Amino acid sequence: MSWWLWAFLGILLLAGEMVTPGGFYMLFFGIGALLVGALVGLDVIQSAWMSWLLFSGLSVGSLLVLRPPLRRLMATDRGGISPVDTMAGETAIVLEDIPPDGRGKAECRGSTWNAHNLGTKPLTKGQRSRVHHVDGITLWIKPE
């Protein structure tokens, strides 16, 4: 496999890590592919089987060694509570009409979020609502 294919694979995996929620899996495989691409480009590695072996070893090794501390660093603050966990009870402003049990957009803490209306009445644009809980990138909201 040529160096540019390894580089493309590495960039693709790093981009995949950025657009998917998850636990830092593709990051290490992307870095492994970029490193193998560099080594193939410098003619340090010439055989395909050695490229794949090194890619596997670098990716899995770095995943096992570096992922746990990276997850601890990124997951929570010092108190063990994610900042998102503290959003329950806060006020959110509805950015578009949301029917009961429907989805739309709302603004909270200066950011736009996906929103799910938990109430039995529609929420209208500009209406204040209360955050019930946060699930991923979605605020579950009720009318105030």
Residues of the chain with pLDDT under 50: none
User: Could you tell me where the DSSP H helices lie in 20-93?
Assistant: 26-41, 48-75
Q: What is the model's pLDDT at position 6?
A: 96
Cβ-Cβ contacts under 8 Å for 4 (sequence gap 6 or more) = 37
Q: What is the model's pLDDT at position 76?
A: 55
Phi first, then psi: give them for residue 93, nearest 5 degrees: -105, 125
Q: What is the model's pLDDT at position 137?
A: 86
Q: What is the model's pLDDT at position 30?
A: 96
Decide: 66 and 53 in contact? Cβ < 8 Å: no
Q: Which CATH class is domain 83-143?
A: mainly beta
Decide: 101 and 112 in contact? Cβ < 8 Å: no
* Domain range summary for the chain, segments of one domain joined by +: 3-75, 83-143
Residue with tokens 């204040």: 128
**pTM > 0.95: yes or no:** no
Decide: 62 and 32 in contact? Cβ < 8 Å: yes
Residue with tokens 């949301």: 98
